[in-house]
């Protein structure tokens, strides 16, 4: 039976979701098994050495699908910065994004001088790991596959951004299903993760380098480890935090900027 265009896209999204969730399970359960055997775990988390090995292990898992697909579809992944970056627009995006986690940044500035070197390294490693793992899998692999497969048109860039960001948001359901997280907190996390996905996609589009969303994602999660943030937030707090950067992201994804956003993906650079 020949699949329709929409069926192919739906199948790609479903398979991508399942594969990434399985990799999350392999990452966490796999490390739990050999980490416990090797004495790399203490209390509820890894030791400092365990954090280093966990980071490398997660990185290896996330890069594997990238190279498999690269050899299968001859897809090029982009890490070098574009030569035509609009730094003014990006500055607005970066500023509004920093605003969305300003409390974490403030807590980090306050707590970092009082934190030991080993704990600082630990927090950075554990915070950076999701940035590398999730960006390689979602923006590095799924997004590039969608760019390759979706039909051309003025809405292609924003469609790719929305589809990959929705998958990115839904990936966080695992925190409720298997992580013991509350339903309301998970719903909030899924929603703002979709917004984060749009932000990171715009960063990738406009800079042409996957290193940029990786850096900002790692910064977001690392500062969380130094802060007192956690649990559910009021809906008003979430709206005021994410609405400015959401508006900027949608503005930068507008159809008239479709060719600009996809320029790096249409070249051999």
What is the tens place of the pLDDT at every residue in 193-242? 999 999 999 999 999 999 999 999 999 999 998 887 666 678 999 999 99
Residue 94 has pLDDT above 90, yes or no: yes
% of the chain with per-residue pLDDT over 90: 64
Most confident of the ranges 33-37, 62-66, 141-145, 257-261: 257-261
Indicate whether 91 pLDDT > 90: yes
Query: Residues 193, 172: contact at Cβ < 8 Å?
Result: yes
The yes-or-no verdict on residue 135 having pLDDT over 60 is yes
Rounded to an integer, the average pLDDT of 241-247 is 95
Query: Contact, 12 vs 145, CB < 8 A?
Result: yes
Number of domain units in the chain: 1
- Integer Cα distance of 183 and 185 in angstroms: 6
- Rounded to whole angstroms, how far apart are CA atoms 218 and 196? 12
- Backbone φ and ψ of 46, nearest 5°: -70, 155
Task: Give the pLDDT band of residue 95 (cuts 50, 70, 90).
Answer: very high
The rounded mean pLDDT for the chain is 90
User: Token pair for residue 244?
Assistant: 């400015």
Q: Which of 112, 98, 52 is nearest to 199 (CA)?
A: 98
pLDDT at 154: 94
Across the range 145-161, mean pLDDT stands at: 93
Residue 54's pLDDT band, with cuts at 50, 70 and 90, is very high
Asked whether residue 248 carries a pLDDT value surpassing 90, the answer given is yes
pLDDT at site 2: 73
pLDDT of 68: 78
Contact 18, 93 (CB under 8 A): no
Mean pLDDT for the stretch of residues 64-77? 72
Range of the domain at 68: 5-266
Q: DSSP for 105-139?
A: HHHHHHHGGGS-HHHHHHHHHHHHHHHHHHIIIII
Higher pLDDT, 70 or 141: 141
């Amino acid at each position: 039976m020949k699949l329709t265009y929409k069926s192919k896209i739906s199948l790609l999204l479903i398979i991508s979701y399942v594969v990434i969730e399985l990799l999350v399970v392999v990452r966490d359960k796999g490390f739990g098994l050999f980490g416990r055997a090797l004495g790399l775990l203490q209390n509820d988390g890894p030791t400092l050495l365990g954090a280093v090995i966990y980071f490398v292990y997660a990185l290896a898992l996330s890069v594997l699908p990238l190279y498999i697909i690269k050899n299968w579809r001859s897809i090029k992944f982009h890490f070098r910065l574009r030569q035509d970056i609009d730094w003014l627009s990006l500055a607005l995006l970066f500023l509004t994004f920093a605003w969305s986690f300003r409390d974490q940044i403030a807590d980090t500035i306050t707590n970092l001088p009082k934190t030991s070197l080993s704990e600082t390294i630990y927090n950075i490693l554990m915070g950076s790991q999701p940035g590398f793992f999730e960006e390689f899998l979602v923006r590095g692999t799924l997004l590039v596959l969608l760019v390759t497969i979706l039909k051309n048109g003025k809405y292609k860039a924003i469609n790719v951004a929305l589809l990959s960001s929705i998958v990115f948001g839904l990936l966080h359901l695992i925190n409720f299903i298997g992580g013991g997280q509350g339903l309301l907190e998970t719903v909030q996390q899924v929603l703002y993760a979709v917004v984060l996905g749009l932000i990171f996609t715009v960063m990738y589009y406009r800079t042409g380098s996957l290193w940029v969303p990786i850096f900002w994602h790692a910064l977001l999660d690392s500062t969380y480890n130094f802060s007192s943030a956690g649990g559910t937030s009021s809906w008003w707090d979430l709206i005021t935090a994410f609405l400015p950067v959401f508006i900027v992201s949608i503005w930068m994804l507008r159809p008239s900027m479709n060719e600009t956003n996809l320029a790096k993906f249409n070249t051999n650079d």
